[in-house]
Structure 1
Amino acid sequence: MQKKILLIVLLVSTNFIFSQSNTNSPYSLFGLGVENKTATGGLTGLGNTGIAQSNPFQINIYNPASLGNILQKSFLYEFGLNGTYSTLKTNTTSETNSNGNISHIAIAFPIKQNLGMSIGLLPYTKSGYNIDIESAIEGSTDTYITRITGEGGLNKFYISSGYKVFKNFSLGVDISFLFGSINQEKQVYTGSYVSISDQNHYSGVKLKTGFQFDVLNLDKFKTTIGGTLELPSSLSGTQTRSSYKTTSSGSSLAIEDEIENELDNFELPFSYGLGITSVINKKITTSLDYRKLLWGETNQNQNNESYANQSIYAFGIEYTFAKDKFKYASNIKYRLGFNYNTGFLKISNQQIDSYFISFGLGLPMKKYSNDNFNISYSYGREGTVDSRLIEDNFHKITLNLNFVGKWFNKKKID
């Protein structure tokens, strides 16, 4: 029965992921859009930490080295949903919006002892905006409005594998295939109406490696350190443009019809991450992560904006009462997290940073089971009202469902 449910979820989720535009952020106008901050398992409730997390019953997309700890004859599968309520404001106005979507699907399984693999599909970036820009007509006191709307984003399909080289040391590698399109339309009215539609298609490959090392592994105290490296990569792009003009008399005239152009490659930066996770008395788990993305080294032009090196700091703590493992309440996990992101986009000499605070619960689906509903609530902010910019205050609910199956057991014949 679980296999049938999973198949239905996979089919529906794939359709949603390929077709969704689940954001309304003015900052998604730039580059490839805003990063999709997806975390698997209960890691959203832990501030999106996970570089040193190694849980055999939970898929970890942050560090492929964790796959070396998947138990034999187990099969992990997971999908996630989230909903966001945002308030966008400037110094003079504000507006609200909401959206929801399926955020990811992923599976993981052992290939042999100490060797595991994971496959998943999730949005990589997302774009969604509707912006009016007022400009002056040269040689006149009159102005005209340009309305810019956009939607779309890039998807990420990954294949990763991890291997436990020694008892306390694991290595992993992750290959990601990025693909998708960002559609933008510009509508200008200056006596006549002009519409320009661009479909920008991008594709490319990313490579990430990681390690995890148990520096201390005692009965009541365990500490693991982890690290990741992501190599720089280039995404190739093509553009399909069409445009038409409508005069004041109502007649329409095509200016360009399905014109294809090559786009400059979009450069993704070299990045690295470090993390440390400690488990105390099998009740308290703390995680601290740091990531650095060298966007400033990509030397990309972005009109009047620029890219800057990005730092991400994350902390999370999880607590389980664990007084009686046979009682449901004793197996509930309580989570708290914090994440600060300096951002990589600089507008008007102002770097667009963000932060969020998260609270989460890990709820077993039934007694004696490693299947979990992982629920988290996050409150955060992105951007600022300084320098005539826009601030986004958001509330986000995340639900990740992860199941642990035993699909590799052979049936016994009496």
Structure 2
Amino acid sequence: MKIKIILVSVMLIITGFGFAQSVSSSPYSLFGLGSEYDADFGGLPGIGSSGIALPSNKFINNLNPASLGFMYQNHFLFDVGGKAIVTSYQDASNKETRNNVQFSHLAFAFPISQKSAVSVALKPYTSSAFKISNMSLGIKDSNENYLYSATGTGGLNDFDVSYGYRVSNRFSLGVKGSALFGSSSVAENYLIQSTLLYIDKTTNYSGVRLEAGSQFVIDSTFTIGTTFKSPTKINASKVESISSVTSSSTVTVVSGLSLDVNDYVMPLEVGFGLSKKIRKNYNFSMDYQKSFWSSVNQSASYGVFTNQDKLALGLSFDKEKKGRSYFDHIKYSTGFNYDTGYLEVDSKKIKNVAFSVGVSLPIDNTFSMLNISYSYGQKGSVTSGLIKENYHKISLNLSLDGLWFVKRKIE
């Protein structure tokens, strides 16, 4: 129990610090609602973020609400996580390195009947943090230039409630309702000769999204799963303030002006996954997901939205017969993740490729685990004026299991 309390305290300190930081520092986070956030629970980061076909019997599987239908009775699951990321950014002539600590998620799940369970989770959904400094741009119909600078922060949060029901011993269905909310702020500076123009923009977002899922156990070694995320509209409202500064005066041009802004549309997303046990010691998982961005008819001056494809592969190993040694209870994993991205700039997609390894360290005699994973990935490229990201990421997820309403055998 003391070890568990210490681990929880350390994790809460880490995630509390990360929540106060910018969740993403990627330059690509200035597009749309920001960079999509990968908040995977338990040991999923170690298997390439695959797991649509995995049950929620020993950990909370946030990739498929139907997994809750296979949750064990009298168990209460709790999951909290954080990440540490070192990223280098490179274009045709420059290179820069940044460090970032991030909050990942907070979730719990519990059964409400012999065949059903519920989970509640809070996590980032998208994130944005970018900075543009002293970019020289030409004035239209003039030989003069002006300097442009901008700083942006914000993103969406996701508060979701999931429900899974086991229709039979082999088949489960699930639904998830997500409340998406958040804001983004952009501060722009235009320096034209001796006049500095400040523009502050704050956009608030809110919306609801539904997801459905299923899992089917073909036999004791093979399971398949499916997910469907509904298209939805994220409502947006923008407030803008403008001020002008010269050597002699500061003038507020506009303050708190409400502007019309287009709502943001999230597309239909479908996913398929499988999980296969091999020789009783290994488990192979594979997920494929497709997002139909090209159908949202969303305009973007910086590029076009295209259909997005994701492929995730994972392989885990643990001993079938647990010995007395602590190392006999450790689970090892590795994975691969490929994401084509949904944005195309100058006919070039912003792709993301990552490899991962991980370990799951048992804490006590229940299903409680400390999940540690390392990922190396690349995003974007240095061609077509784009920026290439090389990142090293360590994910730390604490999955705790508590027993409810179990009578003591010894008083």
TM-score when normalising by structure 1: 0.93
What does residue range 163-174 of structure 1 map to in structure 2 within 5 Å? 163-174=165-176
Question: CA–CA distance in 2 between the matches of 1:325 and 1:404?
Answer: 21
Q: Do residues 246 (structure 1) and 245 (structure 2) align?
A: yes
Over the matched positions of the two proteins, sequence identity in percent amounts to 39
For residues 397 and 309 of structure 1, do their structure 2 counterparts lie closer, same or farther at Cα, with a shift above 3 Å needed? same
Q: Do residues 203 (structure 1) and 206 (structure 2) align?
A: yes
Give the secondary structure class of the aligned counterpart of 1:263. coil
1:18–1:155 Cα contact (<8 Å) kept: no
For structure 2, which runs of at least 5 residues remain unmatched after alignment?
A: none
Give the secondary structure class of the aligned counterpart of 1:45. helix
How many positions carry a matched residue from both structures?
408
Of 354, 365, 370, 2:367 maps to 370
2:305–2:344 Cα contact (<8 Å) kept: yes
Give the secondary structure class of the aligned counterpart of 1:224. strand
User: Pairwise CA RMSD of aligned residues?
Assistant: 2.2
Question: CA–CA distance in 2 between the matches of 1:155 and 1:13?
Answer: 19
Deviation larger for 403-412 or 320-329: 403-412
Question: CA–CA distance in 1 between the matches of 2:5 and 2:360?
Answer: 24
Q: Deviations over 1:216-241 (max 9, x none)?
A: 22xxxx10000000110001011111
1:358–1:378 Cα contact (<8 Å) kept: yes
Alpha-carbon distance, 1:18 to partner = 6.5
Amino acid at match of 1:175: G
Amino acid at match of 1:372: M
1:13–1:105 Cα contact (<8 Å) kept: no
Q: Deviations over 1:51-93 (max 9, x none)?
A: 0011411100000011011111110001001010000000111
Structure 1 partner of 2:390: 393
For structure 1, which runs of at least 5 residues remain unmatched after alignment?
A: none
Amino acid at match of 1:115: S
Q: Do residues 194 (structure 1) and 197 (structure 2) align?
A: yes
Structure 2 partner of 1:307: 305
Alpha-carbon distance, 1:323 to partner = 4.0
Structure 2 partner of 1:65: 66
Alpha-carbon distance, 1:188 to partner = 0.9
Q: Deviations over 1:325-365 (max 9, x none)?
A: 43311111111100000000111111111110001001112
Question: CA–CA distance in 2 between the matches of 1:298 and 1:231?
Answer: 12
Q: Deviations over 1:89-142 (max 9, x none)?
A: 001111010100221000000001010100000000000000233211345443
Alpha-carbon distance, 1:291 to partner = 0.1
Structure 2 partner of 1:181: 183
Of 122, 135, 138, 1:136 maps to 138
Question: CA–CA distance in 1 between the matches of 2:10 and 2:401?
Answer: 16
For residues 336 and 4 of structure 1, do their structure 2 counterparts lie closer, same or farther at Cα, with a shift above 3 Å needed? closer
1:193–1:246 Cα contact (<8 Å) kept: yes
Question: CA–CA distance in 2 between the matches of 1:343 and 1:142?
Answer: 37
For residues 117 and 128 of structure 1, do their structure 2 counterparts lie closer, same or farther at Cα, with a shift above 3 Å needed? same
Give the secondary structure class of the aligned counterpart of 2:384. helix
Question: CA–CA distance in 2 between the matches of 1:9 and 1:114?
Answer: 35
Give the secondary structure class of the aligned counterpart of 2:46. coil
Question: CA–CA distance in 2 between the matches of 1:186 and 1:400?
Answer: 37
Structure 1 partner of 2:104: 103
Question: CA–CA distance in 2 between the matches of 1:200 and 1:407?
Answer: 44
What does residue range 36-185 of structure 1 map to in structure 2 within 5 Å? 36-132=37-133, 133-185=135-187
Give the secondary structure class of the aligned counterpart of 1:296. helix
Give the secondary structure class of the aligned counterpart of 2:110. strand
Alpha-carbon distance, 1:304 to partner = 3.4
Q: Do residues 290 (structure 1) and 288 (structure 2) align?
A: yes
1:10–1:105 Cα contact (<8 Å) kept: no
Alpha-carbon distance, 1:409 to partner = 3.9
Give the secondary structure class of the aligned counterpart of 2:167. strand
2:15–2:81 Cα contact (<8 Å) kept: no
Alpha-carbon distance, 1:43 to partner = 0.5
TM-score when normalising by structure 2: 0.94
1:268–1:298 Cα contact (<8 Å) kept: yes
Structure 2 partner of 1:234: 233
